[in-house]
Structure formats: structure tokens, C-alpha cells
């Protein structure tokens, strides 16, 4: 199996990585950078969204991105949401709304929420459910997650 | 870790050179091929050709009454195109129904066509638009009607060394309405149990001058129903006529029993969907004074 060198930005930092080529971005994040927020929950089928990260500002499943495909791009993971590791208003909203139970889906939900609110700061409930349709949660029943997104939208709106 | 080699194409010329290799497979958005490799449903050895740097294959353009869509255009880009919203709203509805936001941000129109699933949602509306695909290789370029491009489940007429470059269709004339309807197991993130797309053009009197009807998940490939089209052409639109078209369509489709639905259920719901799709396309055509 061949190797290659990839240059990309990871949570604001420039990276030069020499690696085996046939690896997913998700594996690289977890194994080489110990960024374990993004998770594998469906075996890399693109079905669960637990591995959601932002690639050039758009929500994507890191399990379905090959490492060579991030050449020259910006990758943002949940660990890079705030510069000092404090809670981002979206994370706070999830805590406040009680939208976290086991927490396995949460990093993916939060990153999908960030992509939504970056593009649509005041989404209605349909837009929220649509934007999170690719993120499965087996615990909460989604109601509180939708509330968390509404709460975060309001908070971020007041901050601006 | 995937069991494959990876090669990055820096230009279309380089792509055609690498594609000569028998093991070469294009990696576009990866939303079909990567899960397929994990399930071992793709023959080995595989050399993935990463085409993510070929920005020149991602575009939506209009020229001389034709619309060209580059093969690497993502579904997310497609569904926010004002040009397509104006001229091909059914294609937008179809691509908007594909997977999740995450899937649509990566998945490409070219990948949806080349994967050749009977359930590929972009195909029925493109069949109605009589789309043509342009295939390129190192020494040749050829055009093939989409209806001849997909030849079986997972099979296209792409030859070794060829790639899909772009998809073309003519801007529909005035008084045209199009629609797409899909029945899934649930609202979001589901593969079609059955889907249909319709294109109707009305004459000055409001009669149907031209009709195209296509189905997904109703045969080994997405297909047109020529019997339904014939039943509609030249007639005055009405609920009665649409129900006759839904009867006529049954001779063209041949759905299967599988884990998502039975053959009988598919046959029945294809008829229901078609009547709704015809109503929607008819109303659109009446309003379409572009
Ligand atoms: C969770 C999930 C839900 C989905 N839901 C739907 C759905 O509802 N409806 C639907 O239709 N699809 C669905 N899909 C399938 C998939 O997302 C689409 O078919 C998508 O458009 C594939 O595009 P891609 O760029 O990701 O293709 P890839 O996976 O990159 O490629 C698919 C195949 O086409 C070949 N290929 C790609 N581009 C070219 C080219 N330019 N020239 C020659 N060969 C090429 C590849 O070699 C490969 O064999 C879903 C997928 C996932 C993961
Ligand atoms: S691990 Fe489930 S979508 Fe990526
Ligand atoms: S909180 Fe457990 S899966 Fe969502």
C-alpha cells in the first residue's frame, strides 16, 4: 500500500502529514492526532453522523473522506471549536437543554449544528430536523436536541 | 484502513492516463464506493483515483439553450443553483432527497449516475429531460443518451479508461412542468421504495403536447414508461386521464420483492405516486410562462 504526504489545516494549525494513503480522515484524526471527539458508530457507512466534522466549513462524514482528499483544505473538529478548549455556546446549549445522555452522538450533532447555524443563523424546526437528519441519537428522542439548537441560535444571535 | 492503492489526479489529462490501469476506480464523493469497499462488494485489486483536485469538473452552466453539469458537481451545489431551480426543479427535488446534508455535501451527480443503482434518485428527472452524458478518455470523447448509459444494476457502458465528464440537457420550452416524487420508509435519509418523475408540456389550448414519465426502483435500471407517455400525449389533462396513465405504466415497470418492499406494494404505490406527480407537473406547466 502506497504512502503520500498531505498538507492541510487542522483546527487552525498547518499540518504536513506523511501517511499510508488508504486511510479515512476519521482514522487519521483519532489515531494520529488523538482527536477522539469524532466517533465511528456505524462502521463507516455514512449512516450515523457520529463522525461529523467540518471540511471547508461544510458538515461531512469523516469516515467517508479519504486522507488524500483533504489536501489544501480546512478541517475543523469539535476539539477546535474554541481556541482555549472552553465550551462553545452550541455545546453549552446542548448541556442546558439536557440534550446529552450517553453523549456518543453529541460531537457529531454539535458539528452539524455549527454548520447549520453558520449558514442559517435563525433556522425553523423543519430546517433543524433536516440539517440533523444524518445524525442518529439512540437516547434522547431528538426533542431536546432540537431545543438545544434553538437555544444555541438565540444565544449566538444575542452575542452578535 | 482500506485495502487499495491511492493515486491523486492533478489534471483531466493525467486522469485519462491513470484510468488505463485495469484496477483504477474513480473516487469522487466516496459515498457509494467507500461503504462498498468496506462491505467487500467491489472486486479487487483496487486503485482509487482521487479526483478532488479537479475543480474544473464542478460547474453548472447554460449556453445556447443547453445546460451542462460537470460530473463532480455535488448534490449540495446542485440544489442551490438558481439556474436549475428555474429550469429543472424536479432534479433539485430529487437530489435534495439524497441521504443527509453530510451525504449531499460530498456525493456528486456523476457518482450517482456511474454507480448505476436502480434507486439512483437523480436519474428519473434526467431521463425526463432526455439528458446526454459526455464520456472522455485519453484519445476520444463520445456522447451517449442517459437511457443507454445505465445498462443494468451497478453497470454502465463506460469503457476501461473512460470517465464521465459532464451531463447535458436542453432547457425545457415554455409551458413545461416537471415533478419528482419518492416513497421511502421514512422521511429523511432513505433509499427509494419507488420513485417517479414527470415532464409535461402543454400547447396553447392546454392539452398535453409532450409527456415524459420515468421511474426509479421499479426495474433493474431507472426506466421510462413509454405506454404512460403515449396515454398522455395529445390529451386533455384530467384526474381520469392520469389514472389511465397509471394503468398504462404497469406494462413497463417490473419491480422486485426485496427487504424494503414487495413487488405488489411497489406496483400499487408507483401508480399512486405517478398520479400525484402528474397533478403537480400539470399545475406547474399551467403557471410556466417563462
Ligand atoms: C447515508 C447515505 C444515503 C444515501 N442516500 C441516497 C439516496 O437517497 N438516493 C440516492 O440516489 N443515493 C443515495 N446514496 C448514494 C450516494 O450518496 C449517491 O449515489 C452519490 O451521488 C454518489 O456520488 P459519489 O460522488 O459519492 O460517488 P463515489 O462513491 O465517489 O463513486 C460511485 C461510483 O461511480 C464511479 N464514478 C464516480 N464519478 C465518476 C466519473 N466522473 N466517471 C466515471 N466513474 C465515476 C466510482 O468509481 C464508483 O464506482 C446514499 C449514500 C449514503 C452514504
Ligand atoms: S461512522 Fe457513521 S457516518 Fe461516519
Ligand atoms: S445521547 Fe446517546 S446517542 Fe445521542
**Same domain (yes/no): A75, A103:** no
**Same domain (yes/no): A46, A108:** no
Domain residue limits at A39:
3-80
How far away, in angstroms, is A145 Cα from ligand 1 center?
Answer: 29
Q: Write the pLDDT tens digit of every residue in B111-131.
A: 999 999 999 999 999 999 999
**For residues A9, A12, A17 and A21, what is the CA-based torsion angle, rounded to 10 degrees?**
-50
**Same domain (yes/no): A23, A40:** yes
**Same domain (yes/no): A14, A70:** yes
Check pocket membership of A60 for ligand 2, CB cut-off 6 A. Answer: no
The band of B185, judged by pLDDT with boundaries at 50, 70 and 90, is: confident
Q: Write the pLDDT tens digit of every residue in B32-81.
A: 999 999 999 899 999 999 999 999 999 999 999 999 999 999 999 999 99
Residue B243 has pLDDT above 80, yes or no: yes
Q: Return the DSSP state at B173.
A: P
Kindly state the average pLDDT of the residues B26-34.
98
**Same domain (yes/no): A122, A76:** no
Dihedral sign (CA B252, B257, B261, B262): positive
Q: Give the CATH number for residue A29.
A: 3.10.20.30
Q: What is the CA radius of gyration of chain B?
A: 19
Domain boundary among A23, A46, A80: A80
Domain boundary among A62, A80, A98: A80
The band of B106, judged by pLDDT with boundaries at 50, 70 and 90, is: very high
Tell me which residue of B249, B10, B103, B284 sits closest to A58, measured CA to CA.
B103
How far away, in angstroms, is A140 Cα from ligand 2 center?
Answer: 19
Are A24 and B34 an interchain contact pair (Cβ–Cβ within 8 Å)? yes
Domain boundary among A19, A48, A80: A80
| Cα–Cα distances in angstroms (integers) from residue B70 to residues A109, B60, B203, in the given order | 31, 7, 33
Protein residue closest via CA to atom 32 of ligand 1 = B111
Kindly state the average pLDDT of the residues B266-278.
97
The band of A158, judged by pLDDT with boundaries at 50, 70 and 90, is: confident
Residue B238 has pLDDT above 70, yes or no: yes
pTM of the model: 0.97
Kindly state the average pLDDT of the residues B229-248.
98
Residue A85 has pLDDT above 80, yes or no: yes
Are A130 and B101 an interchain contact pair (Cβ–Cβ within 8 Å)? yes
Rounded Cα distance between B279 and A9, Å, is 50
Residue B102 contacts A where some CB pair is shorter than 8 Å: yes
- The pLDDT of residue A1 is 85
Q: Give the CATH number for residue A111.
A: 1.10.150.120
- The pLDDT of residue B182 is 96
Residue B170 contacts A where some CB pair is shorter than 8 Å: no
Provide the mean pLDDT of chain B: 96
- The pLDDT of residue B290 is 62
Are B106 and A20 an interchain contact pair (Cβ–Cβ within 8 Å)? no
- Number of domains within chain A: 2
ipTM computed for the complex: 0.97
Q: CA B131: distance to chain centroid?
A: 9
Are A64 and B34 an interchain contact pair (Cβ–Cβ within 8 Å)? yes
Domains of chain B listed by start with CATH number: 4-50 (3.30.43), 55-170 (3.30.465.10), 176-289 (3.30.390.50)
* Strands A74-76, A52-55: pairing kind: antiparallel
Our mutation pick for probing the ligand 2 site, out of A24, A28, A38, A49, counting the most ligand atoms within 8 A of Cβ, is A49
**Same domain (yes/no): A106, A141:** yes
- The pLDDT of residue B189 is 76
Residue B152 contacts A where some CB pair is shorter than 8 Å: no
**Same domain (yes/no): A106, A152:** yes
**Same domain (yes/no): A62, A111:** no
Buried b (16+ CB within 10 A) or exposed e, A7-26: ebbbbeeeeeeebebbbbbb
Rounded Cα distance between B45 and B33, Å, is 14
Ligand closest to the CA atom of residue B112:
1
**For residues B273, B279, B281 and B287, what is the CA-based torsion angle, rounded to 10 degrees?**
-160
Amino acid at each position: 500500500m502506497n504512502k503520500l504526504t498531505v498538507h492541510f489545516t487542522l483546527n487552525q494549525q498547518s499540518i504536513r502529514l506523511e501517511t499510508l494513503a488508504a486511510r479515512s480522515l476519521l482514522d487519521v484524526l483519532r489515531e494520529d492526532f488523538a482527536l477522539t471527539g469524532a466517533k465511528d458508530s456505524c462502521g463507516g457507512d455514512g449512516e450515523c453522523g457520529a463522525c461529523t466534522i467540518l471540511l471547508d466549513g461544510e458538515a461531512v462524514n469523516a469516515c467517508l473522506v479519504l486522507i488524500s482528499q483533504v489536501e489544501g483544505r480546512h478541517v475543523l473538529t469539535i476539539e477546535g471549536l474554541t481556541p482555549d478548549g472552553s465550551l462553545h455556546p452550541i455545546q453549552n446549549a446542548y448541556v442546558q437543554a439536557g440534550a446529552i445522555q450517553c453523549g456518543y452522538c453529541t460531537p457529531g450533532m454539535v458539528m452539524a449544528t455549527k454548520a447549520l447555524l453558520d449558514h442559517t443563523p435563525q433556522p425553523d424546526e423543519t430546517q433543524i430536523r433536516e440539517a440533523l437528519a444524518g445524525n442518529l441519537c439512540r437516547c434522547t428522542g431528538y426533542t431536546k436536541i432540537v431545543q438545544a439548537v434553538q437555544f444555541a441560535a438565540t444565544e449566538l444571535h444575542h452575542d452578535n | 484502513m482500506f485495502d487499495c492503492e491511492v493515486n491523486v489526479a492533478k489534471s483531466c489529462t493525467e486522469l485519462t492516463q491513470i484510468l488505463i490501469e485495469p484496477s483504477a476506480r474513480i473516487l469522487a464523493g466516496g459515498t457509494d464506493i467507500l461503504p462498498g469497499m468496506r462491505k467487500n462488494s467491489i472486486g479487487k485489486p483496487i486503485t482509487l483515483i482521487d479526483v478532488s483536485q479537479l475543480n474544473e469538473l464542478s460547474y453548472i452552466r447554460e449556453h445556447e439553450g443547453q445546460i451542462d453539469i460537470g460530473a463532480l458537481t455535488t448534490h449540495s451545489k446542485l440544489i442551490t443553483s438558481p439556474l436549475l431551480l428555474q429550469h429543472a426543479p424536479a432534479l433539485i427535488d430529487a437530489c435534495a432527497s439524497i441521504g443527509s446534508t453530510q451525504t449531499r455535501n460530498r456525493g456528486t451527480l456523476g457518482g450517482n449516475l456511474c454507480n448505476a443503482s436502480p434507486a439512483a434518485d437523480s436519474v428519473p428527472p434526467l431521463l425526463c429531460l432526455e439528458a446526454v452524458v459526455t464520456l472522455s478518455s485519453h484519445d476520444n470523447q463520445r456522447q451517449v443518451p442517459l437511457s443507454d448509459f445505465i445498462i443494468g444494476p451497478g453497470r454502465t457502458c463506460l469503457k476501461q479508461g473512460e470517465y464521465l465528464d459532464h451531463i447535458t440537457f436542453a432547457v425545457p420550452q415554455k409551458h413545461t412542468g416537471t415533478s419528482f416524487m419518492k416513497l421511502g420508509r421514512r422521511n429523511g435519509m432513505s433509499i427509494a421504495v419507488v420513485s417517479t418523475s414527470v415532464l409535461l408540456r402543454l400547447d396553447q389550448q392546454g392539452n398535453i403536447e409532450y409527456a415524459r414519465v420515468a421511474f426509479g426502483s421499479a426495474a433493474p435500471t431507472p426506466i421510462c414508461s413509454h405506454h404512460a407517455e403515449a396515454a398522455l400525449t395529445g390529451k386533455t389533462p384530467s384526474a381520469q386521464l392520469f389514472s389511465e396513465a397509471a394503468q398504462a405504466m404497469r406494462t413497463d415497470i417490473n419491480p422486485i420483492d426485496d427487504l424494503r418492499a414487495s413487488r405488489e406494494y411497489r406496483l400499487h404505490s408507483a401508480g399512486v405516486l405517478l398520479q400525484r406527480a402528474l397533478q403537480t407537473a400539470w399545475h406547474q406547466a399551467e403557471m410556466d410562462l417563462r
